[in-house]
Amino acid sequence: MNTPVYLDNAATTPIDPEVIEAMVAVMKDDYGNPSSIHAHGREVRTRVEEARKTVARLLNVTPSEIFFTSGGTEADNMALRCSVEDLGVKRIITSPIEHHAVLHTAEELEKKGRVDLDLVRVKPDGHIDLEHLESLLSDTSKGKTLVSLMHANNEIGNLLDVDRVSEMCQKHNALFHCDTVQTIGHYPLDLEKVKIDFIACAAHKFNGPKGVGFIYISNRNKISPLITGGAQERNMRGGTENVYGIVGLARALEIASRDMESKIAAISDLKAYMIQKLEEAVPGISFNGDAKGRSLYTVLNVSFPPSKISEMMLFRLDIEGISASGGSACSSGSDIGSHVLKTLGVSSDRANVRFSFSKFNTREEIDYVIEKLRELHT
């Protein structure tokens, strides 16, 4: 192919042209500070609040429950840290395969003596052991609990049964924080029907801009800001709003919701096609997580059989113009490997590559990738 193939959409997605158009219009015409009370400021404030209403409508919540952030990491930190600080949380239950925005934050809070930390077991296929979660929740001796589990794992794509976890948390009077960074814009989520206390979102995962996201905070919970220094976001996040990013986020979520059904069908077909072609082209190949089952349709984590190019797989793919990401369970040099694959016990002598798809990928690109992988393994 004459053009590079981008299959690292779980890391970030290309911005949709319609989103760029919406952002450029604001950049050109709406330059006031949204906190200013004059006409220029009021116009920009209107843009921010319109975006908030759009996000709220698409999640079936009230605008007062949506707060814009710099992205998913800030939102995750805000949920965990403020739950401890303001809601009396004494224990956090999470898993060893969570994003580090959650896992490292929980570990830091434990190290400082702020909370007890319990890790729920993970099954061999990468799914959370919900029976073990029930057992942990049944122990009420450690005080008020926050459960923090992601909707879809960013490395292997496994999906969490959020409805069941929500029911468990309600049964045991626990708070539920769900990192939905990989699923917002990809699956419908009605927060009126499924009770979650906090969710985190990042716009660049669904063809929006980088550096902007939001946290949903249920009106059931009242917390203080994580970032102070201003009255922005209704006194919940200090700092001048990223207006262009916020407008882009809302437009990207609108587009993602509008096209969701067709996008799911098209990308699911692409993932299934790649699985089929990989199994035909590379003997001994396997897949990490539950790739053919309850799994995110945009993510495929592939485990290649041991070979002389295992340690250089990503480099060789990059030379061929193919962008993907690693998931090696081994540790070499500055690469400490994947904590997710290590938890699953994936062999360190295999090359593990995450291919992740977007609506802009094609079968022609998959065919090219398969051709190059076949060449590398012959």
Integer Cα distance of 287 and 51 in angstroms: 39
Integer Cα distance of 126 and 289 in angstroms: 5
Label residue 316 exposed, middle or buried (CB < 10 Å: 0-12, 13-18, 19+).
middle
Position 231, amino acid: A
| Residue 61: DSSP 8-state | S
Q: Which two tokens stand for residue 322?
A: 């193919």
Residue 374 phi, psi (nearest 5): -65, -40
Q: From the DSSP assignment, how many helices (H) and strands (E) are in the chain?
A: 12, 13
Integer Cα distance of 19 and 359 in angstroms: 15
Q: In 3-state terms, what secondary structure has residue 378?
A: coil
Residue ranges for the chain with pLDDT beneath 70: 327-336
- Residues labelled catalytic: 330
Integer Cα distance of 57 and 102 in angstroms: 27
Q: What's the pLDDT at 2?
A: 76
CB 97 within 8 A of CB 339: yes
Q: Name residue 69's beta-bridge partners.
A: 213
Position 138, amino acid: S
Q: What's the pLDDT at 327?
A: 53
Name the residue among 115, 210, 218 with its Cα closest to residue 170. 218
Q: What's the pLDDT at 378?
A: 77
pLDDT in tens, 142-195: 999 999 999 999 999 999 999 999 999 999 999 999 999 999 999 999 999 999
Q: What's the pLDDT at 335?
A: 53
